[in-house]
Chains A and B, each alone.
Chain A
């Protein structure tokens, strides 16, 4: 359904467009242009690299920047120690990269760069991106599980204390809940980011349309919508952090299943 002309289209912000005239780039007949999504992924990686690099001075008495980086790594370290135990130590690099990448992506997508005419693109609001991240976590779980436990990994589908007469049903339910994990992981991040951005866009269209239709409607509708927008922006910053945390937390829980069964 296309928006009428003159209206703000809330889905336009999610459009992926080729940049810098690269739309004719092809490999084996497939178009691989350098898109705004790829650009913002690159920006996220650069920002993350600079952030971590600034804290790698390894001073004995850490400065503010080093404290910021170390509190992040310490946070992920604690998360894995609490959820996976001692075996979780080796996943700290992966979970840290995952958490910081998603956190930076969500935060960069919220930057008010529209004021200077740059459109920040939240690539975590695309199922392709979050789906790949979720599949990465899921395949690590599968690889670790099968390499550590072999075919014994399938005992994951039969929890301890399952009554014999329920053995025909429980493994089936556990299998479905196991297979649905990558979808729920990817869907949660993608929809949470998309919903927030659509909401902000809809509220901004309220402000613009009401301000255009005279001072009365501008005061009655526009100003409350604008105040609500500011509040929702604060909520979105919270959601950006929570969703990155939930992604890292659920990945570490799944890794716990793979490491220790249950």
Chain B
């Protein structure tokens, strides 16, 4: 395979990681909403943890974006 085309295929495969991170972020907010509706009184106190979880899940998707960008523009 041509190295240039392999790079582009690799960058496309990195999009799988972004999609997986989308599942993760949806999971974080979905679970938060689910339990917040069960106990709305405790929801506000957990917002910090919500965003920590969001940040952790999102970072992994952003890493796959970085991999794609490196493959396209740097490597």
Give CA–CA (A11, B73) in the complex, Å. 9
CB atoms of A253 and B52 under 8 A apart: yes
CA–CA, A174 and B37, complex, Å: 35
CA distance A83 to B48 in the complex (A): 8
Beyond A1-B72, A1-B73, A195-B65, whether A188 also contacts B59 by CB under 8 A is: yes
A250–B57 Cα gap in the complex (Å)?
14
Q: Are B65 and A188 in contact (CB under 8 A)?
A: no
| Bitwise interface map of A from 1 to 26 toward B, beta carbon under 8 Å scored 1, else 0 | 10000000001000000000000000
Interface size on B, residues (CB 8 A): 14
A246:B51 contact, CB within 8 angstroms: yes
Closest to A11 in B: B73
Contacts of A184 in B (CB 8 A): 59
CB of A43 within 8 Å of the partner chain: no
A246 and B63 contacting across the interface, CB-CB below 8 Å: no
CB pair A246–B48 under 8 Å, yes or no, is: no
A195 and B54 alpha carbons, distance in the complex (Å): 17
Query: In the bound complex, what is the Cα–Cα distance between A155 and B65 (angstroms)?
Result: 35
**A246-B48 Cα distance, complex, nearest whole Å:** 9
For residue B9, CB closer than 8 A to chain A, the reply is no
Specify the main secondary structure of chain B where it touches its partner: helix
Beyond A184-B59, A246-B55, whether A82 also contacts B66 by CB under 8 A is: no
Known: A1-B72, A184-B59, A188-B59. A249 touches B66 (CB 8 A): no
For chain B, residues 17 to 69, give those with C-beta under 8 angstroms from any C-beta of chain A.
48, 51-52, 54-55, 58-59, 62-63, 65-66, 69
Contact for B48 among A11, A82, A187, A188, CB less than 8 A: A82
Interface residues in A187-237 by Cβ distance below 8 A to B read: 187-188, 191-192, 194-195
Query: Please, how many angstroms separate the alpha-carbon atoms of A177 and B14 in the complex?
Result: 24
Complex: chain B residue closest to A252, CB-CB: B48
CA distance A170 to B54 in the complex (A): 25
Closest Cβ–Cβ distance, residue A183 to chain B (whole Å): 10
- Chain A residues with CB under 8 A of B51: 242, 245-246, 249
Contacts of B73 in A (CB 8 A): 1, 11
Judge whether A195 and B52 touch: CB under 8 Å: no
Would you call B52 and A250 a contact (CB within 8 A)? yes
Interchain Cβ contacts under 8 Å between A and B, 28 examples: A1-B72, A1-B73, A11-B73, A79-B48, A83-B48, A184-B59, A187-B59, A187-B63, A187-B66, A188-B55, A188-B58, A188-B59, A191-B63, A191-B65, A192-B62, A194-B69, A195-B65, A242-B51, A242-B54, A245-B51, A246-B51, A249-B48, A249-B51, A249-B52, A249-B55, A250-B52, A250-B55, A253-B52
Chain B positions within 8 Å of A, measured between CB atoms, are 48, 51-52, 54-55, 58-59, 62-63, 65-66, 69, 72-73
Mark A residues whose CB is within 8 Å of B.
Answer: 1, 11, 79, 82-83, 184, 187-188, 191-192, 194-195, 242, 245-246, 249-250, 253
The 6 closest A-B pairs by CB, nearest first: A191-B62, A246-B55, A188-B59, A195-B65, A184-B59, A191-B66
